[in-house]
Amino acid sequence: MAEPAATRPLKVVAGADAFGAELKDAMVAHLRSLNIEVEDLGTTSYYDVGAEVGRRVSTASSSDSKVEARGLLACGTGVGVAIFANKFPGVYATTCTNANDARDTRAINNCNVLALSGKYTPVEKAVEILTTWLDTPFKSPCPASGSQPWPQDIADFFDQSLIDMPKIGCQQESKVDSSAICSLVQNRELNPIDLMPGGSIKILRENPASAILKFKAGSVQPAHHHTFGLDFVVIKGKESVWNLTKGERYDLGDGDYLFIPGGDVLRVKFHEDTEFFVKWDGHRDIFVDEDFETAKSAIEKEVANGSL
């Protein structure tokens, strides 16, 4: 179990869409002026950045982390990013339009992802909201309690909520995994993978997802990660998989099996025409973390050093 938040340094993972980018940048600058560590994921679609911040906060909240991870998001309304951040267990994202919202949601909901409106919230007001959100502990007096300490029965309820709330997303995911559905796929063509030249894919099931993939000899998958863990089995061929998160390399051939935890960053080199089966623990997605030239350069360096 992770250490209590109060004893850990704070790290904020931030991101926005185009409508929230300017406000997000101002909030990131403010956080850094307070000497708070910030991981700025930049700007992309509201659903991608909301999900990515949610995934990272969720992963940190479920691990034995030495830091308290929170998220900061901004889009046009602040609502869209919160919707997708909240799809991950242990994430409590709230759209706040004033300081009282921030104080209430920290005190009552233990909100760990703050969502702001880039269209309707000026920078000065956003700083006030952010400051209140940072400074308000869970279960503290707030406008909802009449600014008085909570009665003991309510405080006990809040404590129990910290146990009950994280289970909800996990239970939903378990229901998906345990569903017994007969799924037959025959004569389906493999389709090219636009993001990965040299690769093709045949989707067998959507959720939890599974697929057969083929990559041509010499193909490279640049550093990337998935929200959910995945199992894969090499049907035929030869490849090297680098788990950059763990600093490990796996050289795989016919019949070899490998499990990759969700969020771990991978880089792959295919030495032969390779076919393999993949099963995700949930839905299928991919987040690319480097370009092809960077990946090829890193692999060529290993070859030159004689380690591959």
In the chain, what are the domain boundaries? 5-171, 191-304
Q: What is the pLDDT of residue 308?
A: 66
Structural contact between residues 272 and 217, judged by C-beta atoms closer than 8 angstroms: yes
Q: Which residues contact 162 (CB under 8 A, 6 or more apart)?
A: 110, 138
With the CA atoms of 116, 118, 121 and 125 taken in that order, what torsion angle do they form, in degrees rounded to the nearest 10?
A: 70
The domain defined by 191-304 carries CATH number 2.60.40.420 = no
Q: What is the pLDDT of residue 179?
A: 47
Q: What is the pLDDT of residue 21?
A: 96
Q: What is the pLDDT of residue 192?
A: 87
Q: Please give the chain's pLDDT, 308 residues, in tens.
A: 343 444 678 999 999 999 999 999 999 999 999 999 999 999 999 999 999 999 899 888 766 667 899 999 999 999 999 999 998 888 999 999 999 999 999 999 999 999 999 999 999 999 999 999 999 999 998 888 888 888 898 888 988 988 888 777 554 444 444 445 565 666 667 888 887 899 999 988 888 889 999 999 999 999 999 888 899 899 999 999 999 988 899 999 999 999 998 888 899 999 999 999 999 988 888 888 888 999 999 999 888 887 76
Q: What is the pLDDT of residue 80?
A: 95
Q: How many CB atoms lie within 10 A of CB 224?
A: 18
Alpha-carbon distances of 40 from 7, 44, 47, 182, rounded to whole Å: 23, 12, 16, 43
Q: What is the pTM of this model?
A: 0.57
User: How would CATH label the architecture of 5-171?
Assistant: 3-Layer(aba) Sandwich (3.40)
Q: What is the pLDDT of residue 189?
A: 75
Alpha-carbon distances of 225 from 86, 123, 152, 286, 289, rounded to whole Å: 20, 33, 44, 6, 8
Q: How many CB atoms lie within 10 A of CB 204?
A: 16
Candidates 125, 137, 135; CA nearest to 23 is 125
Q: What is the pLDDT of residue 141?
A: 86
